[in-house]
Amino acid sequence: MITVNGKIDTAAHAGQSISELLKRLEMQTARVVVERNGLIIKREVYDSLLLEDQDDIEVISFVGGG
Amino acid sequence: MAEISIDGVSVDDIYKQMKTRNVAGTQEKLAQAHVTIAGSGGLGSNIAIALARSGVGHLTLIDFDVVDYSNLNRQQFKLSQVGVPKVIALKQNILEFNPFIDITTVQTRVTYENVEELFETSDVICEAFDDPTSKAVILQSAREFFSEKPIVMGNGLAGIHSANNIVTRKMRENVYICGDQTTAGVEGLMAPRVIICAGHQANMILQLLVNKIEI
């Protein structure tokens, strides 16, 4: 069971990479900050870091304008 | 030394009178405070002006850009300042209503590589970019270098939607994000919602600086 932005994401499962998760959520990598269990993940590891069961993922997504 | 006066009013007296309508008990703390604002556009120019009027003593303004005609619909600049670096124009505009402030200007782009140096001495980091990629970069790097330093961000302030959708949220310890989180600049940016979001950010920064956080 993996939680994404406060909700259980049934399509997310252990072994998927952060990049795969973002792609499925249709989020642009450059415009987001991803936290895993409260810690920010470095972008360099989005491809290599794999989700684990019980992970709590938070994706903070930014829109343009200022 | 002879007392300095402007039109017969002493500088000391002008300083005191300028503060009379600010909230009592805040001025000493705010005069000592240092806020670094990343971006001097729609959000940044309005935030800087609000903080300067509130009595924040030290501001650092960062922006790589110069004033353009397309900025004048929402940014606090004048026609006569088109072509002038935004940080210089904004500093000029602030000093016209409050000369009792220390303003440092930095004409550069904020990148992962210079975040540590640019924000080291700031009490609060204020993100006021237009570009969503830069917003993500500053949050990512600020959390890496300064996890204890509060960062106040803007996200979603476009269009002419309800003003009431723009709110201040505490996302994490020391991370505050203001805006509606959804409306993007491509639909157009109008002064009122930009100013509302800037007001949220400036207000959150004041709360952090005087340690009176109610969100």
Task: Report the percentage of chain B scoring pLDDT > 70.
Answer: 99
Chain A CB contacts of B181 under 8 Å are 61, 63
How far is residue B47's CA from residue A31's CA, in Å, rounded to a whole number? Answer: 23
Would you tell me how many other CB atoms lie within 10 Å of the CB of residue A56? 13
Task: Report the percentage of chain B scoring pLDDT > 90.
Answer: 93
Q: How far is CA B42 from CA A18, A34, B49, B123, B190, in A?
A: 33, 27, 11, 22, 9
Instruction: Report ipTM for this prediction.
Output: 0.90
Q: Does A43 touch chain B (CB under 8 A)?
A: yes
Q: Which residues contact B61 (CB under 8 A, 6 or more apart)?
A: B37, B40, B44, B48, B86, B87, B90, B91, B103, B104, B105, B106
Residue A17: domain span: 3-61
pLDDT of B182 strictly over 60: yes
Looking at the structure of chain A, the number of domains it has is 1
> Does A66 reside within a domain?
no
> Does A48 reside within a domain?
yes
Nearest residue on chain B to A30, alpha-carbon basis = B133
Report the CATH number at residue A22.
3.10.20.30
Residue spans of chain A under pLDDT 50: none
What is the per-residue pLDDT across B23-44, written as a single tens digit (0 to 9) for each? Answer: 999 999 999 999 999 999 999 9
User: In Å, how far is A34's CA from the nearest CA of chain B?
Assistant: 9
Q: What is the pLDDT of residue B2?
A: 66
Sign of CA dihedral A42, A46, A48, A49: positive
Domains identified in chain B and CATH numbers: 9-15+23-209 (3.40.50.720)
pLDDT of B167 strictly over 60: yes
How far is residue B47's CA from residue B68's CA, in Å, rounded to a whole number? Answer: 19
Q: Across the interface, which of A31, A43, A63 has its CB nearest the CB of B182?
A: A63
A with B: how many residue pairs have Cβ under 8 Å apart?
71
